[in-house]
Amino acid sequence: MSEAAASHTTDRRELTAAQRNAVAELLRVSPVADELGRRFAAAGHELHLVGGSVRDALLGRLGEDLDFCTDAHPDQTLAVVRGWAEAIWETGREFGTIGCQRDGLRLEITTFRAESYDQVSRNPVVEYGTSLAEDLRRRDFTVNAMAVSLPEHRFTDPYGGLADLAAKVVRTPGTPAESFGDDPLRMLRAARFAAQLRFAVHPDAYAAMSRMAADLDRITAERIRDEFTKLLTGADPITGLRLLVDTGLAERFLPELTGLKLEIDEHAQHKDVYEHTLTVVRNAISYEQDGPDFILRMAALMHDVGKPATKSVGSDGRVSFHHHEVVGARMTKARMKALRYPKDVTAKVTALVALHLRFYGYGRGEWTDSAVRRYVTDAGDLLSRLHKLTRSDCTTRNRRKAAQLAADYDALEERIARIEAEEDLARVRPDLDGNAIMELLGVPPGPIVGRAWKHLKDLRLEKGPLDRDTAEAELLRWARAEGIVG
C-alpha cells in the first residue's frame, strides 16, 4: 500500500467518534445555524457551515465563531441577516465576508470564492465562485475542505478530509504545488497545523514546502507574523519549528533559528545550540500556568541567537560566546521589528534575552543585596518570566550540575522574597522625590533633577532604604561633587 493510501486508512472507531463529536457540537449551535440556513433558503440561496468550524466540530471543540459560505453576494447576505442579527459588521466585505452576531455566536458568511494569487502580488485576487465544490477546492487543506449544508445537515467531504482528520495528517485538496502557489502562506500554515493539532504533514506537501520555500517571500510580514505566533503558541511548537527549519521556510523569515545549527568540529566540541534551544522552549512551556505565553516562548526561542556571531575558540580549545546575550537582544529586536510585532511585545522579549545570563554569577557567592535589588528592578514586571526562562535554560545532562543550578536559583528566589518582605522591590524609588530634590538643591525642573533622581535610585539599590536626613546628606554630597551647589 502506498504512503498516500495508508494515510487514508483509518480506524472505524475513530471516524465514529469524530462523527459523534460533530453531532453533539452541531446540535449545540443548530438553533442559530439552522434558522440562518432556513432564511437563506427562503431567499433562494445556499448556506453551508465550512472550514475550521466543521473540523473543530469533528474534533469536539467547536467554539463560538462559526464560518459559513454561500452563493449569495454580500448585498444579498446583508438583506438576509438584517432584522435577524443582533449586530452586523462589514469589515471583510471586500473579501466577500459579512459578519454578524446572534445568541452569543459570531457568524462569518462568505460568498463562494475562487481567490488566487497572481504569483507576484502579496495579496489575494478575490473572485466569487459559483459552487460549493469550487469553494472547497480552493481551501488550504482537506481537513478544512468539508461542509455541512444547512438546514438539512448534509455532509460534504470531496477530498477525504474526515479520513485525514482521523489519520492526523495535513494534506492539500489539489496538488501541493497548486495550493501553495495560490497562497504561499499555506506552507507556514501547514507547520502551524502540525504544532496546533499535532498532525503530520503529508510527504507530498512536505516536499513542496521544501521546494517552494522561497515563494514565502511574496507574503507580507504581518501575515507571516500572525501564522508564526499561532505556531509558537500551539500545543506542540517544537514539531512546527523543526518543520520550518527542515523545509527551509525559517530561512525566509527567521534565519536566526536556522543559524543556531552551529558546526561541531572535533577540535572545538560544544553542545548543539539548536537542539538546546528547542529543549529550552519545551522547558519553558512546562512552567506555564495560564495557557500559552508567547513572550516567554519567544524569549526561549531567541535567547541564544547571538551565539553564532560571538563564537570563539580559545587556545585551550574551549568554545565561548562572550556577550552573546547583548548581541542576541539586538538581533531579537531587529527580527521582531521586521516581523511587525508591537513595540511593547518586542521590548519584553528583548529584555528577557538580554537578562537571561544575569543569574549565572550568583552561585559563586558574589551577589550582595544590592545585586539582588538590581536584578529584580531590571527585570521589573518580567521577573516571573525571567525566573522561568533561567530555569528552562538549564539543560545539562550532568545531574550534579543541574541540581546545583536549581538549588542556587531556589536560594536566589528565597533571597528575593526575604528582601521583598523588608522592602517593596517592585516599586523601588529614590528616598527623595523630584519636588524634594528641587527644593533642596534650589534648581528648576530639568536635566539636573533627572540626574539627581537617578543617583538617589542607584544609592537606594546599593544601600537599601535611607532615612530622610541621610538621603539629603547624600544628595548634597553628590551635588557638590558635580559642581551643582557650592
> Does 415 lie in the same domain as 307?
yes
Confidence of residue 125 (pLDDT cuts 50, 70, 90): low
Tell me which of 380, 404, 426 is where a domain ends. Answer: 426
- 305: domain CATH number is 1.10.3210
| pLDDT, position 157 | 94
Q: Rounded to whole angstroms, how far apart are CA atoms 435 and 273?
A: 51
Name the CA radius of gyration of the chain, rounded.
29
> Does 216 lie in the same domain as 90?
no
- Domain range spanning residue 217? 175-253
> Does 421 lie in the same domain as 344?
yes
Look-up of cell digits 558635580: 482
| pLDDT, position 377 | 82
> Does 155 lie in the same domain as 24?
yes
DSSP for residue 50 = E
Enter the C-alpha cell of residue 357.
545570563
Q: Is residue 181 part of a domain?
A: yes
Cβ atoms of 282 and 300 closer than 8 Å: no
Checking if the pLDDT of 213 tops 70, the result is yes
Tell me which of 122, 143, 167 is where a domain ends. Answer: 167
> Does 187 lie in the same domain as 155?
no
Q: Quote the Cα angle for 83-89-92, to 5°.
A: 135
Length of the chain: 486
Confidence of residue 241 (pLDDT cuts 50, 70, 90): very high
> Does 146 lie in the same domain as 7?
yes
Cβ atoms of 69 and 48 closer than 8 Å: yes
Q: Is residue 247 part of a domain?
A: yes
Contacts 24+ apart (CB under 8 A), 234-239: 234/192, 234/195, 234/196, 234/197, 234/292, 235/195, 235/196, 235/197, 235/198, 236/194, 236/195, 236/196, 236/198, 237/195, 237/281, 237/285, 237/297, 238/195, 238/278, 238/281, 238/282, 239/194, 239/195, 239/198
Mean pLDDT of 9-29: 67
> Does 15 lie in the same domain as 126?
yes
Confidence of residue 310 (pLDDT cuts 50, 70, 90): confident
The pTM score is 0.79
DSSP for residue 72 = S
Tell me which of 253, 278, 308 is where a domain ends. Answer: 253
> Could you please report the per-residue DSSP string of 417-486?
HHHHHHS-GGG---SS-HHHHHHHHT--SSHHHHHHHHHHHHHHHHH----HHHHHHHHHHHHHHTTS--
- 35: domain CATH number is 3.30.460.10
Q: What average pLDDT does the chain have?
A: 85
> Does 149 lie in the same domain as 208?
no
Of the ranges 199-203, 211-215, 275-279, 479-483, which one carries the lowest mean pLDDT score?
A: 479-483
Contacts of 237 (CB under 8 A, 6+ apart): 195, 231, 281, 285, 297
| pLDDT, position 372 | 82
Q: Is residue 486 part of a domain?
A: no
Q: How many domains does the chain divide into?
A: 4
- 225: domain CATH number is 1.10.110.30
Checking if the pLDDT of 209 tops 70, the result is yes
Checking if the pLDDT of 116 tops 80, the result is no
| pLDDT, position 186 | 96
> Does 130 lie in the same domain as 11?
yes
